[in-house]
Amino acid sequence: MVKRAVRSPPDLDTDAEARILDAAHVVFVRRGTAGARMQEIADEAGVNKALLHYYFRSKSRLAAAVFQRVARGLFQSVSEILGSDAPIEDKVRRVVQLYLAQLAKAPYAPAYVISELNQHPDRAAQFVEAVRQIREQSLNADVLDTLGKQLRRGARMHTMRAISTPQFIANLASLCIFPFAARPMLCAILDLDDRGFTRFVEERKTALPEFFLNALRP
């Protein structure tokens, strides 16, 4: 019986897989799946292209890994905040601060996720799986239930207007994400250069929580 040779990596670089994923993250978010090239990712990671295929087999597998990573990055910490026992006011302020700080470092992430969901139907299932994993790994596994009870309690006590959990999350996330997803349009409308957009985001860290909370008050 002939034994098959064990396939070994074409390079002994021990942290190559992590570097490849980091590099692919940069390239895919910047160019999208359609525009990304494996050679560009290899160059960004400082490895040969054969190593990309060894760890991820194909561009589609690497693209899926990056998509799940970006999706998890957008929602992991937010889920932990929303599922905590903190007051609604604190949750809103913390989510806004977190989202705006996070997206300022990765401004193309929202547009990338939206584009991928529109252009690649299979990404929807990957997105659902990423969110499911986040909810399962959260300190409070049922984030939506915890938040919903808190919102209903506030409405019963007349400390806030009645609002459903989906509407609360959609409104808060949209107000944080939209400026980054629509950055070129906003910069054109508001006549903002890169510095101007940075100032706009800094101002929004203070203005947005008050705007949102005022809309919730009875």
pLDDT digits (tens, 9 = 90+) for 56-67: 888 989 988 898
Instruction: Give the pair of three-digit tokens for residue 173.
Output: 């996330």
Query: Under a CB-based contact definition with an 8 Å cutoff, are residues 83 and 146 in contact?
Result: yes
Cβ neighbours around 114 below 10 Å, total: 12
pLDDT value for 14: 60
Work out the mean pLDDT of the chain and round it to a whole number.
86
pLDDT value for 203: 96
Q: How many helical (H) and strand (E) elements, i.e. helices and strands, does the chain have?
A: 11, 0
Cα of 85 vs its chain's centroid, Å: 23
State the Cα torsion 23-24-30-31 to the nearest 10°. 140
pLDDT greater than 60 at residue 188: yes
Cα of 175 vs its chain's centroid, Å: 14
- In this predicted structure, which of 15-19, 64-68, 85-89, 134-138 has the lowest mean pLDDT? 134-138
Q: To which residue do tokens 């019986």 refer? A: 1
- In this predicted structure, which of 18-32, 35-49, 140-154, 174-188 has the lowest mean pLDDT? 140-154
pLDDT greater than 60 at residue 190: yes
pLDDT greater than 60 at residue 76: yes
pLDDT digits (tens, 9 = 90+) for 1-57: 444 444 445 545 568 888 999 999 999 988 888 889 999 999 999 998 888 888 888
* % of the chain at pLDDT higher than 70: 90
